[in-house]
Structure formats: C-alpha cells, structure tokens
C-alpha cells in the first residue's frame, strides 16, 4: 500500500458524564487536572490505548493490523518475531547488525508491515532478554497531544458502600464496607493531533487505508470501552484539516485556532454537549487547506 501524500491536523471533541475519563494513580485515581487552572486532562497514552483497542476489536489480528502494545503480550515476544524473520537469534542481534548492512531497515520494515500501531504511532522497540534485544526506534507519523477540558472541572468524591465483606474476621463486626470513587459531573475535552505525510513516506508506510481506519477508530474509540467508572463517554466531533501537499500549506496552530468552542447564551455551568456551540471559521481557512467534520 502506498503511503499518504497529504499532511493533516485534527481536533477531537469528546465528553464525559458522571465518570472518570482518566484517573491519576499518583492522586488516589482522581481525574487528572491542572492544579493551577482546574482544567481536566486526559493523557495521549490513554487516547492511543482506546484507538489500539478499537483496531484490535475490528481487525482481530488480521495480517498487517496486529497491535504491538497489547495487554498480556510481552513486547519482546513480538521483537523476537522480527529476529526470526531476518534469521538471527535474539542474543546474536547486536553482533549481526555490525556484520550485515541494512539489517535495521529489514527489521523496521517487518514491524511496520505487521503492526498497525507501529505504522501509526511509532514505537521504541528495545527490550531485554538474555542480552539487549534492540529492534530500533520508529517515529510514527501520527501524534496526539494531551486532551484538555474546555472548562475547569470540579471532581466529586462519591462515597459508596458494599454488602460483601472482604475479610472473614470482619464479617461478624460489620455488615457493609465503605469505598470511594471520583466522578466528573460533566466535562467536554479537546485533543489535537498531527499526521506527517513526510514521515509516513520515509519511515512507516502509513497508507490511505490506515488513515481511514484511524478516523473510524477515533470516532468510535469509546463505543466498545464503556464501564461504570468512566461514566458516559462519547466522541462528539472530529474536525480534520487536510493540506494539499506533503509538508503542509499552513502552520498547525493557526488551523487549531479556527476551531472555537463557546457556551450557548445563558449557560454558566454546562451539563451536556448541547450547552456548547462549536464553530469552525472556514472564512479564514488558508489557501491549500480543506476542512472536513465528522461525528
């Protein structure tokens, strides 16, 4: 498959209702937030995990669409496959690279052609078995930043009880046990991303088919990931900017500035997506850039 020829930027708007979109393990699993401003945060790692999970669900490890960073699968198991492909034992890989020119490129091509997430996001493929197993580093063409809430969030700590007692010794002395969970009553989050056609052509071979799957995965990344702790989460809109060239026709930040999210008149404490207005100022769209809205 031929690599993409156009640069892209995109904006994702998603929301959460009565849930915790991304807990912080260093803060008792409360929703991540900027302590200075109170704006909520969702990490890039969290968003990419949702995309990987969707692709894995849809493709079910079909050839060319396997997932490298996968729950329950050690990374060096996949790295060993690359060694087998080039006919080198993992323990001998370091010495083999010194003797055979182009071995790194063969390994990279194998990993990119087999694993969708490497072709998309890249990967650092250095693990350890008996010795250093280094399959190299791939810089992916698709990059996603942290998502930030449009408004400050006010996490609520909710006390819960359960009738099942944990320890046998405590069974006679109490009938319930207490617990806590954090929720965000409502929050609309905005994430911004970049797709480099130059890196796709030079490095991973990220194709138009891969791009279509990425858009599909972003729009549906919460649909197979519902849980009580995350509440009701949904992608509300995906706004895509497509450049007419490989290197782009306008700076990314100027395109992101065209997307304006504001409260509807009279709304002070939003409690739903309908409380917002999303405007894309197409009249200021630079020459050579087109915009598409999905969602």
Q: At what angle do helices 75-86 and 103-114 cross, to 10 degrees?
A: 120
CA gap 190, 171 in Å, rounded: 47
Of the candidates 206, 291, 256, the residue with the CA atom closest to the CA atom of residue 5? 206
Indicate if the pLDDT at residue 8 is higher than 90.
yes
54-81 average pLDDT score: 88
Q: What is the arithmetic mean of pLDDT over 220-247?
A: 95
pLDDT higher than 60, residue 132: no
Q: With 90 as the cut, is the pLDDT of residue 176 above it? A: no
Question: What confidence category does residue 66 fall into, taking pLDDT thresholds of 50, 70 and 90?
Answer: very high
User: What pLDDT, on a 0 to 100 scale, did the predictor assign at position 77?
Assistant: 79
Q: Is the pLDDT of residue 45 over 70?
A: yes
pLDDT on residue 47 = 98
Q: What is the pLDDT of residue 203?
A: 93
Question: Residue 193 and residue 218: Cα distance in Å, rounded?
Answer: 11
Residue 169 has pLDDT above 90, yes or no: no
- Average pLDDT of the residues of the chain: 90
What is the pLDDT, as a whole number, of residue 161? 82
The phi, psi pair for 281, rounded to 5°, reads -80, 80
- What pTM, to 2 d.p., does this model score? 0.90
CA distance 79 to 90: 8
Of residues 122 and 180, more confidently modeled: 122
CA distance 34 to 17: 19
Distance CA 254, CA 155 (A): 32
- The answer to which of 18-32, 63-77, 87-101, 230-244 has the lowest mean pLDDT is 87-101
Portion of the chain with pLDDT greater than 70, in percent: 94
Identify the DSSP state of 204.
Answer: I
């Amino acid at each position: 498959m031929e690599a993409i020829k156009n640069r892209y930027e995109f904006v994702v708007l998603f929301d959460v209702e009565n849930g915790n979109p991304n807990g912080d393990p260093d803060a008792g699993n409360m929703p991540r937030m900027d302590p200075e401003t109170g704006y909520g945060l969702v990490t890039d790692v969290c968003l990419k995990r949702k995309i990987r999970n969707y692709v894995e669900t849809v493709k079910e490890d079909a050839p060319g669409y396997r997932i490298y960073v996968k729950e329950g699968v050690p990374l060096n198991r996949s790295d060993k496959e690359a060694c087998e492909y080039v006919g080198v034992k993992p323990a001998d890989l370091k010495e083999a690279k010194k003797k055979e020119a182009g071995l790194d490129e063969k390994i990279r091509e194998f990993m990119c052609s087999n694993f969708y997430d490497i072709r998309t996001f890249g990967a650092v493929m250095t693990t350890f078995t008996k010795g250093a197993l280094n399959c190299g580093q791939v810089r992916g063409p698709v990059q996603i930043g942290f998502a930030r809430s449009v408004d400050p969030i006010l996490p609520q700590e909710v006390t819960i009880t359960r009738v099942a007692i944990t320890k046998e010794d405590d069974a006679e002395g109490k009938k319930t046990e207490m617990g806590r969970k954090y929720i965000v009553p409502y929050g609309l989050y905005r994430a911004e991303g970049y797709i480099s056609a130059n890196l796709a052509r030079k490095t991973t071979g990220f194709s138009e088919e891969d791009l279509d799957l990425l858009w599909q995965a972003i729009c549906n990344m919460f649909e197979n990931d519902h849980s009580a702790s995350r509440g009701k989460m949904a992608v509300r809109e995906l706004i895509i900017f497509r450049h007419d060239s490989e290197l782009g026709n306008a700076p990314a930040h100027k395109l992101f500035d065209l997307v304006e999210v504001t409260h509807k008149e009279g709304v002070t404490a939003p409690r739903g997506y309908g409380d917002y207005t999303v405007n894309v100022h197409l009249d200021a769209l630079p020459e050579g850039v087109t915009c598409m809205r999905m969602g």
